[in-house]
Amino acid sequence: MMDELELLKKDWQSKEEHLPKLSYHDIYQMLWKKSSSIVKWILIISILEFTLPHLLYLFPGVSKSFETYEKLGVKDISTAIWIISYLISFYFIYQFYNRYKEISTLDNAKKLMEKIIRTRKTVKHYVIYSLSMLFVTCIIIMIGIYLSDNLLDAFPSANDGEQKIAPEEFKNILLWTMGVFSILMVAFMGGIYFLLYGLLLKKLNRNYKELKRLEV
């Protein structure tokens, strides 16, 4: 085998002149093309993950829900939660940015992979945290609904129709809707997240495992 590999090496090195040749101009053009590296994708997806939940609040329906929260008596809690969640988000963004800046193609292969995995872990923790927050918020609202005596005042539109709904029935419908909604939402977002990163980092994880295996 040794001889065969040596033979291959000789042949490999003799092929240089047959390789494609790009001109100065060709290479120069490439400098301005956009990268499609996984690091760039992680950055794009992470920015979306950090901003999308906050953009939701811009929708009129969502900001209106503030009034609803107030009437449900959970406004103070939810305002406090929102302030804390912003602070935590900023902490995650800060940490993500630092780790992202550390990624360098000048590191050796293993270190580069480790840094990418570490950066992605920050996003992973952020997503787990966001999903838990979403779940907790839903539960707080459900508790608010459950404890509320004047539920129909909080949802004036429910009284608009010709038929009046019994408050007890309305409470049950709301509780069930919220419960199903929160579980579906968390499962859906979590599913998208794991699928996205699973596909994006399949190759990296495989190669990283291969390098790690060598160390044992």
Supply 113's token pair.
């992979």
Query: Would you say 8 or 55 has its CB closer to other proteins?
Result: 8
C-alpha neighbours within 13 Å on the C-beta side of residue 159: 8
Report the C-alpha gap between 139 and 131 in whole angstroms.
12
Site for other proteins in 175-204 (CB under 8 A): 200, 203-204
Distance from CA of residue 11 to its chain's centroid? 48
Helix residue ranges per DSSP H, 103-166: 109-147, 151-154
DSSP output for 21-71: ---HHHHHHHTTSPP--HHHHHHHHHHHHHHHHHHGGGSHHHHHHHHHHHH
Question: Does the CA dihedral 139-140-145-146 come out positive or negative?
Answer: positive
Q: Which of 112, 131, 138, 178 binds other proteins (CB under 8 A)?
A: 112
Q: Please report how close the Cβ of residue 97 comes to other proteins at its closest, in angstroms.
A: 17
Q: Please report how close the Cβ of residue 189 comes to other proteins at its closest, in angstroms.
A: 23
22 binds other proteins (CB under 8 A): yes
Query: Would you say 78 or 119 has its CB closer to other proteins?
Result: 119
Query: Would you say 103 or 174 has its CB closer to other proteins?
Result: 103
Q: Please report how close the Cβ of residue 199 comes to other proteins at its closest, in angstroms.
A: 10
Q: Which of 58, 61, 104, 166 binds other proteins (CB under 8 A)?
A: 104
Report the C-alpha gap between 164 and 17 in whole angstroms.
86
Q: Which of 67, 76, 102, 107 binds other proteins (CB under 8 A)?
A: 107
Q: Please give the residue ranges that form the binding site for other proteins (CB under 8 A).
A: 1-2, 4-5, 7-9, 11-13, 15-16, 18-24, 27-28, 30-31, 33-39, 41, 104-113, 116, 200, 203-204, 206-207, 210-211, 214-215
